[in-house]
Amino acid sequence: MTTESTVTTSATTVDEAVRCTGLTYRFGAQVAVNELDLAIGPGEMFGLLGPNGAGKTTTIRMLTTLLKPAAGSISVFGTDVAAHPMRVRRVLGYVPQALSADANLTGQENVELFARLFDVPRKVRKARVAGALEAMGLTEAATRLAGTYSGGMIRRLELAQALINAPRLLVLDEPTVGLDPIARGVVWEYIARLRASHGMTVLMTTHYMDEADANCDRVSLMHRGKIRATGSPAGLKGTLGDGATLDDVFRHYTGDALGGTPEEGGIRDVRRARRTARRLG
Amino acid sequence: MTYAAPGAPPADLASTAGPLGVADGPLAYLARLASRVIALCWVELRKIRHDRTELYTRAIQPALWLIIYGEVFTHVRAIPTPKGIPYLAFLAPGILAQSALFIAIFYGIQIIWERDAGVLTKLMVTPTPRAALITGKAFASGVRSLIQGVAVVIIAALLGVSLTANPLKLLAAAIILMLGSAFFACLSMTIAGLAVSRDRLMGIGQAITMPLFFSSSALYPASIMPGWLQVISAVNPLTYEVEALRGLLIGVPATLWLDTLVLTGSTVAGITAASLLLNRLASR
Ligand SMILES: Nc1ncnc2c1ncn2[C@@H]1O[C@H](COP(=O)(O)OP(=O)(O)OP(=O)(O)O)[C@@H](O)[C@H]1O
Ligand SMILES: [Mg+2]
């Protein structure tokens, strides 16, 4: 069953936020992303869903200029990523999958570093940093070393970092993993506010189908490096019949992964996450 | 656990519409390079402020070299020194360079830590040229070496080494120390880019630090080295760093222009090599 039809509505507009064409990446002989096509409209909140090892992070790393595609191309707001990585980086906000903040700097310094790296003018820098920290509820902890933060605090700190340059495209790789339900709510609430006030485009991945259902305008189901289906959560649920949940949609398109062999990516990522936790703790 | 409700987004946080900006000219590139180097040196200063104990613990080793090794060899007079200066005075610039070397070599391990912790990845998604990231880290190591160097110089002075008081020569010595440190940080980051994994780098780092040190003129003049070691010493940038520091701080004859040229050239080469390997490091 092919369900690429929903993409066409936004694909026709010139002003696309993201467009991936024939995107491919290999780790050695293993194809992590396989001729992937994807289009995200400006202002959209787009979810990339799929089982462990589907290739979500690899896709995001290509989009964020970290990996060079083996084949295919990506454009961000009409600018080719391979040709002009620096222009694309200027409008990106990125929160990677693993918790990552410099444990030897305070929360405030972590954010200020990014303000400097994004050329936030010196005159507004202090106020901007304080504003971002306040928005993420980190004002009181701002002068503490990030090494003393809890997982949820680090995630919010990372969002403050990612938002300091007023990104036009915010890329979030499992932003709420490891957060308690209240912290998750805080993160989504803040992102929703930003979208409402600034019309930011968001590309996110998550393993929480309820979050995707509640927050995404459209989602893609990705499996083994390919997109299996794209559409609004409601539309995708509708194709499976009454009372279907996004969980059912996920199972429907990627179900053959569940009984299969464990994916290497999972182990790697868990190891990496543990290492991070150790370093931060 | 309680959370504060998210505040309102900062008012001036406004996404600009329209196509992405135009490419930078060479001047804008240089300005950005400078601003990134300043930002990363600023980070280093903040880190040093947060953890000052490292500054003290790292002063122990050079102090031991000067106090024990230096005093003993001053008394036995086994090593000929230029113009017959006391051996301790000959040794002090060598130990100064050594302490900067040990600091700089650590930056390769640090960049792998940062890669593993995801911090490097995030830096690489900011509009920071790869070369600016490496240059920034290289000079951050220079900043740390300089602060550590002050401690070494104070210890040497307390032990009775007579050092120059000429502010211009001190400034020049500071620049040499920075350049030397920047080069060895780049060497270490280059090796990190080749080794890719932390465990492998640890071994390599240790395997090159001591040979670099012993094959330089830090402990003894090249004239008493066996011929083969003289050849190695002549291509070891640490030798040029030590010679320049000796000339500036102690006043023994030195060819400063050559030393500066070699150190600058090596640093540029090191920045280039490490920058080219940065993507490889980040894509693992
Ligand atoms: N650094 C790497 N070296 C080798 N293989 C890798 C590497 N990173 C990812 N892979 C492989 O590429 C495939 C896609 O991995 P990727 O991390 O993109 O998946 P993902 O969809 O993000 O999974 P998860 O939900 O677990 O984060 C996996 O099979 C994984 O084993
Ligand atoms: Mg992933």
Eight-class DSSP state of B20: P
Least confidently predicted of A130-134, A252-256, B64-68, B108-112: A252-256
Ligand 1 atom index nearest CA of A55 = 18
- Judged by a CB distance cut-off of 8 A, whether residue A199 touches chain B is yes
- Tens digits of residue pLDDT in A17-48: 999 999 999 999 999 999 999 999 999 999 99
Per-window interface: A 212-231 vs B, CB < 8 A: none
Q: Does A168 sit within 8 Å of B12, measured CB to CB?
A: no
B272/B202 Cα distance (integer angstroms): 22
Find the closest chain A residue to B129 by CA distance: A86
ipTM exceeds 0.85? yes
User: Residue B144: which of B213, B44, B35 has the closest Cα?
Assistant: B44
Sequence-separated (6 or more) residues with CB below 8 Å from residue B214: none
Eight-class DSSP state of B9: P
Portion of chain A with pLDDT greater than 70, in percent: 86
- Judged by a CB distance cut-off of 8 A, whether residue A270 touches chain B is no
- Judged by a CB distance cut-off of 8 A, whether residue A168 touches chain B is yes
Residue nearest to atom 16 of ligand 1 (CA): A55
Portion of chain A with pLDDT greater than 90, in percent: 60
Least confidently predicted of A113-122, A126-135, A258-267: A258-267
Least confidently predicted of A131-140, B4-13, B72-81: B4-13
| Chain mean position to CA A204 | 3
Residue B240 token pair: 């040029």
pLDDT tier, B13 (very low <50, low <70, confident <90, very high otherwise): very low
Residue B75 is predicted with a pLDDT of: 84
B134/B117 Cα distance (integer angstroms): 18
Residue A40 is predicted with a pLDDT of: 96
Q: What is the mean pLDDT of chain B?
A: 89
Q: DSSP letters along chain A, please?
A: --B-GGGHHHHTSS--SEEEEEEEEEETTEEEEEEEEEEE-TT-EEEEE--TTSSHHHHHHHHTTSS--SEEEEEETTEETTT-HHHHHHTEEEE-SS----TTSBHHHHHHHHHHHTT--HHHHHHHHHHHHHHTT-TTTTTSBGGG--HHHHHHHHHHHHHTT--SEEEEESTTTT--HHHHHHHHHHHHHHHHHH--EEEEE-S-HHHHHHH-SEEEEEETTEEEEEE-HHHHHHHT-TT--HHHHHHHHHGGGTTSPPPHHHHHHHHHHHHHHHHH-
Residue B37, CA atoms < 13 Å, CB-side half-sphere: 17
Question: Does residue A185's CB lie within 6 angstroms of at least one atom of ligand 1?
Answer: no
Q: Which residue has the tokens 């459209």?
A: A218
Q: What is the dihedral of CA B15, B18, B19, B23, to 10 degrees?
A: -70
Residue B145 alpha carbon to ligand 1 centre in Å: 39
B258/B255 Cα distance (integer angstroms): 6
Residue B8 is predicted with a pLDDT of: 53
Residue B102 is predicted with a pLDDT of: 93
Q: Is the pLDDT of residue B12 over 70?
A: no
Q: Cβ(A58)–Cβ(A32) under 8 Å? A: yes
Sequence-separated (6 or more) residues with CB below 8 Å from residue A205: A47, A48, A49, A50, A56, A57, A60, A97, A172, A173, A174
B78/B164 Cα distance (integer angstroms): 25
Q: Cβ(B10)–Cβ(A135) under 8 Å? A: yes
- Tens digits of residue pLDDT in A67-93: 999 999 999 999 999 999 999 999 999
Dihedrals φ, ψ of A222, to 5°? Answer: -110, 140
How many other CB atoms are there within 10 angstroms of residue A218's CB atom?
Answer: 22
- Tens digits of residue pLDDT in B123-132: 999 999 999 9
pLDDT tier, B2 (very low <50, low <70, confident <90, very high otherwise): very low
Q: Which amino acid is at B19?
A: P
Residue A261 is predicted with a pLDDT of: 43
Q: What is the mean pLDDT of chain A?
A: 85
Q: Is the pLDDT of residue B18 over 90?
A: no
Question: Does residue A271's CB lie within 6 angstroms of at least one atom of ligand 1?
Answer: no
